[in-house]
Amino acid sequence: MTTLLVTGGLVWDGGTAAPRDLLLREGRIAAVLAPGEGPDDGPRFDARDRLVLPGLVNAHTHGHATLMKGVADRWMLESSLTNGAWMGGRRDRDIIRLSTLLGAVEMLEAGCTACYDLFFEFPGPSAEGLATVAAAYAEAGMRAVVAPMVADRALFEILPGFLDTLPDDLREQAAAFRLAPAAQTLAALRDSFSGVTPPDGIRFALAPTIPHHCTDDFVTGCRDLAAARGLRLHMHIAESRLQALIARKMWGAGPVHHIARLGLLGPHFTAAHAVWLEAAELDLLAAHGATVAHMPASNMRLGAGVASISAMRARGITVGLGTDGCNSADSLDMAEAMRLASHLSRLRDVPRDEWLAAADVLRMATEGGAAVLGIEGGRIAPGAPADLALLDLGHRAFVPLHDAANQAVTCNTAGSVREVFVGGRQVVAQGRCLAPVAATLRDRARDALAALMERLAPSRALAARLEPHVVAYAEREGRAALPFARKIPVESSLA
């Protein structure tokens, strides 16, 4: 029987941080003990001068984008979508593995033990890609929910009147850009899920990317496939003002109303971003037990807006915290995500009693994220998985020490993380990932990137020509009046 006694740490239990010892057995927390109450024999880990947190859970990221860190400057969401095909395209198995591993190691070294990866392959999903991503997370020693991100309508199809704004030669190229038909992509997904067995600690899910990038037949096909295979669903919802406006042009209602009519909502469903929703849409999410993934860094980076987290939480919606991908937030540091979530909750004339407290944010980054992924964890309690992040109390973020939980949110950086355990197994020591591949990963990424960017040059050049036209369209059309109140009351109309 594998046991380990973690002694001398300051343990955060979801409310306060206090001196506790933790007995780990067979990958789980067997007991939370007063200092010195553990068994005298058996292996021990000295956690003195450590703040012990549940492993952080990244509720939304994109492993394919890790190699694209820093490519964007002053991009809005529609800029990112214009460049999406080349950022996920022309990748062989080695590049897919490398990009996933690079992100996994960065997250582990920042105290993150699990993530929800919406990974993208262009021109379409494949069993080889799914297997490669899953194996990469297992190789790094991290838990993950891996969801192919798919659609059957291209950006240029769904922007009303956009093609008419383009010069003739560019219009022809944009009009020719099409994604595979719904039936073809759904067949590829069925083959992938049937042909690939996830390693231990890895689960599969499905991510039809954005409602108006998916025909109704495609959405219901994803719904049925997910139901048949017991998969969770994850979808970007009303991330930008323009998306909220386009939804009403297409369906005469907000995107949550539309996908509710298509039968997507339920406890298995996660709405990512959910920035530009009206109160009735939040009520629908709450009524169906759906969760929300909140990405404050990318919402700021892309100028997308501020999500109404206090209104969501008041309705009982479980909110998990995520970083988003490196193309839209540049960092996979959950400490940064926590700090930004805390600070953003205080904008837009939000009453002080609705501001997120440090404990609220920590729970979003742990328990909330675990709920979004549909996994156990996110807490330190008997029976919970032994997924732990140990932070150095000698790090400048905690000197002097007043309130460990508060400082973990408001002062902390990834650099304070010293040790990480996943399922009771140590995967990070002295701030470095212990997976053998981690030692050469950064050099290999630098070497591989030059060749990849050369292959991507033609599609990147086309995106560079299209981007200013997309941005001009988004800025013009996005100024239209919203047909709903931007400030959402905390009280639900269903109460």
- The residues spanned by each domain of the chain are 56-379
Render each residue's pLDDT in the chain as its tens digit; 495 residues: 589 999 999 999 898 899 999 999 999 999 999 999 999 899 999 999 999 999 999 999 999 999 999 998 999 999 999 999 888 877 899 999 999 999 999 999 999 999 999 999 998 999 999 999 999 999 999 999 999 999 999 999 999 999 999 999 999 999 999 999 999 999 999 999 999 999 999 999 999 999 999 999 999 999 999 999 999 999 999 999 999 999 999 999 999 999 999 999 999 999 999 999 999 999 999 999 999 999 999 999 999 999 999 999 999 999 999 999 999 988 999 999 999 999 999 987 778 988 999 999 999 999 999 999 999 999 999 999 999 999 999 999 999 999 999 999 999 999 999 999 999 999 999 999 999 999 999 899 888 888 899 999 999 999 999 999 999 999 999 999 888 877 777 766 655
CB-CB neighbours of 479 under 10 Å: 10
pLDDT of 414: 94
Long-range pairs of 19-25 with CB within 8 A, sequence gap ≥ 24: 20/52, 22/52, 22/380, 22/386, 22/388, 24/386, 24/421, 24/424, 25/1, 25/424
CB 388 within 8 A of CB 6: yes
Q: How many CA atoms lie within 13 A of 372 on its CB side?
A: 37
Tokens of 348: 């837009």
Q: Give the Cα separation of 104 and 325 in Å (integer).
A: 12
CB-CB neighbours of 80 under 10 Å: 25
Q: Give the Cα separation of 126 and 128 in Å (integer).
A: 5
In terms of residues, how long is the chain?
495
H helix or E strand, kind and range, residue 171: helix 168-176
Cβ-based neighbours of 92, under 8 Å, separated by 6 or more:
none
| Ramachandran bin of 49, using left for φ above 0, alpha for ψ from -120 to 50, beta for the remaining angles | left
Claim: this prediction has a pTM higher than 0.75: yes
Amino acid in the structure at residue 177? F
Ordered DSSP codes for 336-398: HHHHHHHHHTT-TT--GGGSPPHHHHHHIIIIIHHHHHT-S-SS-STTSB--EEEEETTSGGG
Domain 56-379, what fold? TIM Barrel (3.20.20)
- Give the orientation angle of helix 438-477 with respect to helix 93-109, to 10 degrees: 90
Tokens of 445: 């990424």
